[in-house]
Amino acid sequence: MQPHGPMYCETGHPWLFMAEPVNTITNAFIILAAILAFRQVRNARIGWPWDIVILLFLLAATGVGSFAWHAFRTRIALAFDAIPGLLFLFVFTGVWIGRLFGRWAGILGAFGLLVAAAGSMYLTFTLYPGIRAYPPAVSLAPAYATISVIGFFLVWATVRKIGWTSAEIVSLALVCAITAAVCRSIDPMMCSIIPFGTHFLWHILLSTAAYLAIVFLIRQRTRER
């Protein structure tokens, strides 16, 4: 059975049929990002740190899960799409904070990000209950905004503690992630302009952000040798 809720693009445009094939095919970018990140780890000769290995696995799992969701659109496929991606976000955030402020700060920071994102959603839904009527891609905007603010703080902290050279690549990852979230949020509104929507850019840009995030950690490991 398909889950309830609108498809990404629901218009009468004759090219609407292209939306899900395009979304399905662009999952290849997520798998490609995982492969390129794997090669970066191997070429850096830093061994296989547990945090980077976990992120590689979660990135590849996200690509497979997202392919299953767009190809079959079942509840189980949606879980395999969403859970690895969310885990990637929280694990990377925890590792990033841990690099800056210590391991325990990283663990607390990862949980703090989860609480902050969920809290922003709860507060928005409480104050503006009408937002529930919007497509999920739009109603998630408060969580995206909260995560972005935390990301900017961490970039600032990285510049202060490590230097701009190290922060440059992770700031680029943040910009790609924010742009990806915007593309996902405006997708239902763009279908009359772009027949297959902008969700495919979410795949491309977010996988680029994940790749850059892993490269950031690789470079930090290289500096420590």
142-184 pLDDT, tens digit per residue, is 999 999 999 999 999 999 999 998 899 999 999 999 999 999 9
Question: What's this model's pTM, rounded to 2 decimal places?
Answer: 0.90
Query: 79, 23, 91, 49: which is closest to 219 by C-alpha?
Result: 49
CA distances from 198 to 11, 15, 52, 171 (A): 14, 14, 30, 23
Residue 29, classed as helix, strand or coil, is helix
48: exposed, middle or buried (C-beta count within 10 Å: 0-12, 13-18, 19+)? exposed
Q: Please, are residues 68 and 80 in contact by the beta-carbon 8 Å criterion? A: yes
Band (9; pLDDT cuts 50, 70, 90): low
Direct distance between the N- and C-terminal alpha carbons of the chain, in angstroms, rounded to an integer: 52
Q: How many residues does the chain have?
A: 225
Domain 24-224 maps to which CATH number in 3.30.420, 1.10.10, 3.30.200, 1.20.1070? 1.20.1070
User: Domain boundaries in the chain?
Assistant: 24-224
CA distances from 206 to 26, 62, 210 (A): 11, 11, 6
55-95 pLDDT, tens digit per residue, is 999 999 999 999 999 888 899 999 999 999 999 999 999 99
d(CA 121, CA 151): 17
Task: Please tell me the predicted confidence (pLDDT) of residue 188.
Answer: 79
Task: Please tell me the predicted confidence (pLDDT) of residue 42.
Answer: 96
Neighbours of 36 (CB within 10 A): 14
